């Protein structure tokens, strides 16, 4: 993870999974189980014209004009300040990993070793 992204992540003060009351599955199992749901969610968003299809075909996720309006008017007002910080991190910092650094993400999460 890029150093500036790591700094922003630590500012969010997200607890470690082992310190939580709940138990979480191993990252590779979680990602594997979520894949079909994420694919279906993207198809639904594209079908509802909330994501830009031409960008999606190129491997990029960008909202459509309709998606931007809906997000700003309906979704953002419902977020708590902590949720807004997390959403901001995902959109502005985590997304900087990009396709060229996906191997680094796989190495760090153990996804490639497990699949």
Interacting residues of 79 by C-beta distance below 8 A, sequence separation 6+: 87
| pTM for this model (two decimals) | 0.56
pLDDT means over runs of 10, the chain (115 residues): 77 76 73 81 91 84 87 87 82 60 61 48
Per residue in 22-41, is it b (16+ CB within 10 Å) or e — as a string? Answer: eeeeeebeebeeeeeeeeee
Q: Which residues pair with 63 in a beta bridge?
A: 51
Note the pLDDT of residue 91: 67
């Amino acid at each position: 993870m890029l150093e500036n992204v790591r700094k922003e992540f630590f500012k969010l003060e997200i607890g470690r999974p082992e310190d939580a009351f709940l138990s979480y599955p191993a990252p590779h199992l979680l990602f594997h189980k979520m894949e079909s749901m994420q694919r279906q969610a993207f198809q639904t968003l594209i079908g509802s014209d909330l994501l830009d299809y031409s960008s999606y075909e190129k491997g990029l996720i960008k909202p459509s004009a309709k998606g931007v309006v809906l997000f700003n008017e309906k979704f953002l007002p419902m977020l708590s300040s902590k949720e807004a910080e997390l959403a901001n991190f995902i959109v502005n910092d985590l997304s900087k990993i990009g396709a060229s650094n996906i191997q680094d993400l796989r190495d760090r999460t153990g996804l490639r070793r497990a699949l």
